[in-house]
Amino acid sequence: MSLKNMNVLVMGAGIGIGAAITRRLAQEGANLILLLTHRAQAESGPIDALINNAGLALGAPAAFSDLKIRGVVTMTGTNINGYMLATYAVLNDGGMRERGKGTLLKVTSTTALDDPPFPGESIYHATRRFQEGFTDALRT
């Protein structure tokens, strides 16, 4: 797939995997719209691809009952609402639904596919399971 001149929205582009994906997309000639910290309004015209990469794990290996509520809310807000609403934005404001095409690429975790290998990952694991279920349903 040629990425030249595609409009790509990257969530969590500042560091890590998102930054590496962004550099490669730039080399391939994509037009980049980058989310660094605050959520983007898709006002940049049609979006061809979304790299849904922003996410985080907080508090592990602490057990659920020892987690800070602020951390739980940040994790669910980012990994569930952020993930879901970014998808909603590119489908509607980004025009994918109207044009009947577009690419949704998720960066999630293998923890979504199995039971967690250690305790203390309850919320992180559950949010990744949400992403799998949401993506499967959306694909259908």
Strands 31-35 and 49-52: unpaired
From the list 9-17, 23-31, 42-50, 88-96, the region that binds ligand NAP by CB under 6 A is: 9-17
Residue 67 or 107 having the CB closest to ligand NAP: 107
Question: Judged by CB under 6 A, which of 5, 24, 36, 133 binds ligand NAP?
Answer: 36
Amino acid at 10: V
Residue 59 found at the interface with ligand NAP (CB under 6 A): no
Residue 56 or 138 having the CB closest to ligand NAP: 56
* Least distance to ligand NAP, CB of residue 101, Å: 25
CA distances (Å), origin 34, targets 25, 77, 80, 111, 121 = 11, 19, 19, 26, 29
CA distances (Å), origin 78, targets 38, 45, 53, 128 = 11, 24, 10, 11
Question: Judged by CB under 6 A, which of 82, 94, 95, 102 binds ligand NAP?
Answer: 82
Question: Judged by CB under 6 A, which of 25, 30, 47, 54 binds ligand NAP?
Answer: 54
Q: Sort 103 into a burial class: Cβ within 10 Å, 0-12 / 13-18 / 19+.
A: middle
Binding site for ligand NAP (CB under 6 A): 12, 14-18, 35-37, 53-57, 78, 82, 107, 109
